[in-house]
Amino acid sequence: MKVGYGRVSTDQQTLQSQQDALEQAGCDRIFIETASGARSDRPVLKEALEFMREGDTFVVVRLDRAARSVSHLISLLNDLDQRGISFHSINENIDTSSAGGRLVFNIFGSIAEFERDLIRERTQAGLVAARKRGRIGGRPKVMTDDKRDAAMKLLAAGTAAKDVATAIGVSLPTLYRHCTVN
């Protein structure tokens, strides 16, 4: 069975061209949704995916109708493949029921993995360069040496821990973590 899925982002857009293309592709059942592609919770897409069984084909007009990103598309196609469901994108002419379609899908997967590796390498190089300039990543320390010294003096003078924490601008747990409070 061919199961079609069409999606537009807003009510002002029309689904008619997608619906026509899905009908022309021979879809037996068509699921239609109005939802942003950026949303991860698309109930009609979820319904369509749950509806399909082994041997079915999931059909979309364009790749961006089904997935938010390349990594989401790869995840979706891997899930379909594990369930024995083919994928067909009409405009890109990708059909995973054929050897050529599976090749194109695997190329997409390799490109996405390559892109993730490049991002990771650039991030690591940036962190190394920042460390060489004396910059350290992460959240700035709330309890500085000056604040700790001031807190210790106030505590030694008998000021309540809660008042000391408020005076130096830290939380009570932070004060306890950095100062020995009796």
- Among all residues, which ones are annotated catalytic? 9
Please name the residue that has the structure tokens 């060489």. 132
The answer to whether residues 57 and 88 touch, using CB atoms and an 8 Å cutoff, is yes
Residue 31: other Cβ atoms inside 10 A: 19
Helix (H) / strand (E) containing 86: strand 86-89
Work out whether strand 86-89 and strand 94-95 pair parallel, antiparallel, or are unpaired.
Answer: antiparallel
What CA–CA distance (Å, rounded) separates 103 from 101? 5
